[in-house]
Amino acid sequence: MSTLLLTLAGLMQSWGVADRHTRRGTMPCPTMSGVCGLIAACLGLEHGADLAAEFDGVRFSVREDERPGRLSDFQTVGAGTKNAKVVVKDYLTGAAYTAALEADRPRLERWAEALRHPAHAVGLGRRGCPPSRPFAPRIEDAPAAGLFAGSHWWTGSPEGDAWVDAPVRKDGNGGVWNTRAVAEHGGDFFDGI
Protein backbone atom coordinates (compact mmCIF):
# COMPACT_ATOMS: atom_id res chain seq x y z
CA MET A 1 0.00 0.00 0.00
CA SER A 2 1.23 3.51 -0.87
CA THR A 3 0.45 6.90 0.67
CA LEU A 4 -0.61 10.11 -1.06
CA LEU A 5 0.48 13.21 0.86
CA LEU A 6 -1.06 16.61 0.14
CA THR A 7 -0.73 20.05 1.68
CA LEU A 8 -3.90 21.72 3.00
CA ALA A 9 -3.02 25.32 3.83
CA GLY A 10 -5.30 28.33 3.80
CA LEU A 11 -6.15 31.60 5.45
CA MET A 12 -9.49 30.03 6.43
CA GLN A 13 -10.65 26.42 6.60
CA SER A 14 -13.80 24.82 7.96
CA TRP A 15 -14.15 21.05 8.17
CA GLY A 16 -17.80 20.25 8.64
CA VAL A 17 -19.74 19.01 11.55
CA ALA A 18 -23.45 18.48 11.74
CA ASP A 19 -25.41 21.65 11.01
CA ARG A 20 -26.98 22.93 14.21
CA HIS A 21 -29.44 25.40 12.69
CA THR A 22 -27.80 28.64 13.79
CA ARG A 23 -24.23 27.41 14.38
CA ARG A 24 -21.96 25.70 11.87
CA GLY A 25 -18.89 24.53 13.71
CA THR A 26 -15.61 23.12 12.48
CA MET A 27 -13.51 20.17 13.44
CA PRO A 28 -9.96 20.96 14.66
CA CYS A 29 -8.44 19.43 11.51
CA PRO A 30 -9.43 18.29 8.01
CA THR A 31 -11.83 15.36 7.92
CA MET A 32 -11.71 12.30 5.72
CA SER A 33 -15.08 13.16 4.16
CA GLY A 34 -13.91 16.73 3.47
CA VAL A 35 -10.65 15.63 1.84
CA CYS A 36 -12.43 12.94 -0.20
CA GLY A 37 -14.93 15.60 -1.34
CA LEU A 38 -12.06 17.87 -2.32
CA ILE A 39 -10.46 15.07 -4.37
CA ALA A 40 -13.85 14.24 -5.94
CA ALA A 41 -14.18 17.89 -7.07
CA CYS A 42 -10.66 17.77 -8.50
CA LEU A 43 -11.59 14.58 -10.38
CA GLY A 44 -14.67 16.32 -11.79
CA LEU A 45 -17.18 14.04 -10.07
CA GLU A 46 -20.57 15.70 -9.79
CA HIS A 47 -22.07 16.69 -6.44
CA GLY A 48 -24.10 13.77 -5.13
CA ALA A 49 -22.05 11.15 -7.00
CA ASP A 50 -21.61 7.82 -5.22
CA LEU A 51 -18.12 8.05 -3.78
CA ALA A 52 -18.14 4.71 -1.98
CA ALA A 53 -16.33 2.81 -4.74
CA GLU A 54 -13.82 5.61 -5.32
CA PHE A 55 -12.74 5.80 -1.67
CA ASP A 56 -13.42 2.23 -0.50
CA GLY A 57 -10.74 0.89 1.84
CA VAL A 58 -8.84 4.18 2.10
CA ARG A 59 -7.01 4.89 5.33
CA PHE A 60 -6.83 8.61 6.24
CA SER A 61 -4.44 10.51 8.50
CA VAL A 62 -3.67 14.19 8.93
CA ARG A 63 -0.74 16.01 10.50
CA GLU A 64 -0.97 19.53 11.92
CA ASP A 65 1.92 21.57 10.45
CA GLU A 66 0.85 25.09 11.47
CA ARG A 67 -1.44 25.51 14.49
CA PRO A 68 -4.75 27.19 13.62
CA GLY A 69 -6.40 30.20 15.16
CA ARG A 70 -10.18 30.43 15.32
CA LEU A 71 -12.67 32.85 13.80
CA SER A 72 -16.44 33.05 14.13
CA ASP A 73 -18.41 34.80 11.39
CA PHE A 74 -21.91 36.10 12.12
CA GLN A 75 -24.32 36.21 9.16
CA THR A 76 -27.93 37.35 9.05
CA VAL A 77 -30.22 35.02 7.12
CA GLY A 78 -33.59 36.36 5.95
CA ALA A 79 -32.80 40.01 6.76
CA GLY A 80 -35.84 42.25 6.57
CA THR A 81 -38.29 39.44 7.33
CA LYS A 82 -39.88 38.32 10.57
CA ASN A 83 -38.00 35.01 10.21
CA ALA A 84 -34.54 36.62 10.23
CA LYS A 85 -31.90 34.82 12.28
CA VAL A 86 -28.19 35.09 12.92
CA VAL A 87 -26.07 32.14 11.82
CA VAL A 88 -22.60 31.64 13.29
CA LYS A 89 -19.98 29.91 11.13
CA ASP A 90 -16.69 28.82 12.71
CA TYR A 91 -13.39 28.71 10.82
CA LEU A 92 -9.80 27.70 11.43
CA THR A 93 -7.40 30.49 10.47
CA GLY A 94 -3.82 30.38 9.24
CA ALA A 95 -3.61 26.61 9.52
CA ALA A 96 -1.59 24.14 7.48
CA TYR A 97 -1.95 20.37 7.49
CA THR A 98 -0.53 17.43 5.60
CA ALA A 99 -3.21 14.88 4.73
CA ALA A 100 -2.28 11.29 3.99
CA LEU A 101 -4.46 8.79 2.14
CA GLU A 102 -3.32 5.17 1.98
CA ALA A 103 -4.63 3.12 -0.96
CA ASP A 104 -3.45 1.27 -4.06
CA ARG A 105 -0.89 3.21 -6.13
CA PRO A 106 -2.93 3.51 -9.40
CA ARG A 107 -5.76 5.25 -7.54
CA LEU A 108 -3.33 7.56 -5.74
CA GLU A 109 -1.62 8.48 -9.03
CA ARG A 110 -5.00 9.41 -10.54
CA TRP A 111 -5.86 11.52 -7.48
CA ALA A 112 -2.44 13.24 -7.49
CA GLU A 113 -2.88 14.22 -11.15
CA ALA A 114 -6.37 15.58 -10.42
CA LEU A 115 -4.99 17.60 -7.47
CA ARG A 116 -2.39 19.14 -9.81
CA HIS A 117 -5.04 19.99 -12.44
CA PRO A 118 -8.46 20.21 -10.69
CA ALA A 119 -11.61 19.96 -12.81
CA HIS A 120 -13.55 22.26 -10.45
CA ALA A 121 -12.64 25.07 -8.06
CA VAL A 122 -12.09 23.66 -4.59
CA GLY A 123 -12.21 24.95 -1.05
CA LEU A 124 -10.78 23.78 2.25
CA GLY A 125 -14.00 22.45 3.73
CA ARG A 126 -16.17 25.27 2.36
CA ARG A 127 -16.31 26.82 -1.09
CA GLY A 128 -15.29 30.23 0.29
CA CYS A 129 -12.03 28.85 1.75
CA PRO A 130 -9.55 28.58 -1.14
CA PRO A 131 -6.13 27.04 -0.52
CA SER A 132 -3.26 29.50 -0.09
CA ARG A 133 -0.62 27.03 -1.34
CA PRO A 134 -0.59 24.32 -3.99
CA PHE A 135 -1.66 20.87 -2.78
CA ALA A 136 1.81 19.57 -3.82
CA PRO A 137 0.65 15.93 -4.03
CA ARG A 138 3.35 13.31 -3.66
CA ILE A 139 3.24 9.54 -3.32
CA GLU A 140 5.40 7.57 -0.90
CA ASP A 141 5.75 3.80 -0.66
CA ALA A 142 5.33 3.80 3.12
CA PRO A 143 2.40 4.00 5.55
CA ALA A 144 1.45 7.35 7.11
CA ALA A 145 2.48 6.08 10.54
CA GLY A 146 6.09 5.88 9.37
CA LEU A 147 5.95 9.17 7.49
CA PHE A 148 4.40 11.07 10.41
CA ALA A 149 6.48 9.44 13.17
CA GLY A 150 7.43 11.87 15.93
CA SER A 151 4.77 14.46 15.09
CA HIS A 152 1.23 15.33 16.21
CA TRP A 153 -1.21 13.57 13.86
CA TRP A 154 -4.71 12.10 13.54
CA THR A 155 -5.45 8.72 12.03
CA GLY A 156 -8.78 7.36 10.89
CA SER A 157 -9.39 3.90 9.54
CA PRO A 158 -11.97 1.12 9.53
CA GLU A 159 -10.31 -0.10 12.75
CA GLY A 160 -10.90 3.20 14.58
CA ASP A 161 -9.76 6.80 14.91
CA ALA A 162 -7.20 8.37 17.24
CA TRP A 163 -4.80 11.24 17.77
CA VAL A 164 -1.26 9.97 18.06
CA ASP A 165 1.21 11.39 20.64
CA ALA A 166 -1.30 12.97 23.00
CA PRO A 167 -3.88 11.98 25.61
CA VAL A 168 -7.28 11.27 24.11
CA ARG A 169 -10.89 11.26 25.29
CA LYS A 170 -14.04 9.95 23.68
CA ASP A 171 -16.84 12.38 22.97
CA GLY A 172 -20.52 11.53 23.31
CA ASN A 173 -20.74 10.65 19.59
CA GLY A 174 -18.05 7.96 19.66
CA GLY A 175 -15.31 10.21 18.25
CA VAL A 176 -11.86 10.39 19.77
CA TRP A 177 -10.31 13.84 20.31
CA ASN A 178 -7.00 15.18 21.48
CA THR A 179 -7.60 16.70 24.89
CA ARG A 180 -4.65 19.06 24.44
CA ALA A 181 -6.30 20.59 21.35
CA VAL A 182 -9.53 21.21 23.27
CA ALA A 183 -7.65 22.85 26.13
CA GLU A 184 -5.44 24.99 23.87
CA HIS A 185 -8.35 26.21 21.77
CA GLY A 186 -10.70 26.72 24.70
CA GLY A 187 -13.51 24.54 25.97
CA ASP A 188 -15.97 25.95 23.42
CA PHE A 189 -13.88 24.86 20.44
CA PHE A 190 -16.34 22.08 19.65
CA ASP A 191 -19.49 24.22 19.95
CA GLY A 192 -21.89 23.17 17.26
CA ILE A 193 -20.89 19.51 17.22
Please, are residues 131 and 10 in contact by the beta-carbon 8 Å criterion?
yes
With bands split at pLDDT 50, 70 and 90, how would you rate the model's confidence at 171? Answer: very low
With bands split at pLDDT 50, 70 and 90, how would you rate the model's confidence at 153? Answer: low
Strand bridging mode 59-66 / 153-157 = antiparallel
Q: Does the pLDDT value for residue 170 go beyond 90?
A: no
pLDDT at 155: 59
Q: Does the pLDDT value for residue 131 go beyond 50?
A: yes
- Give residues with Cβ within 8 angstroms of 59, minimum separation 6: 1, 101, 102, 103, 143, 144, 155, 156, 157, 158
Measured distance between the N- and C-terminal CA atoms of the chain, rounded to whole angstroms: 33
Whole-model pTM above 0.85?
no
Q: Does the pLDDT value for residue 159 go beyond 60?
A: no
Q: Does the pLDDT value for residue 184 go beyond 50?
A: no
Amino acid 41 reads: A
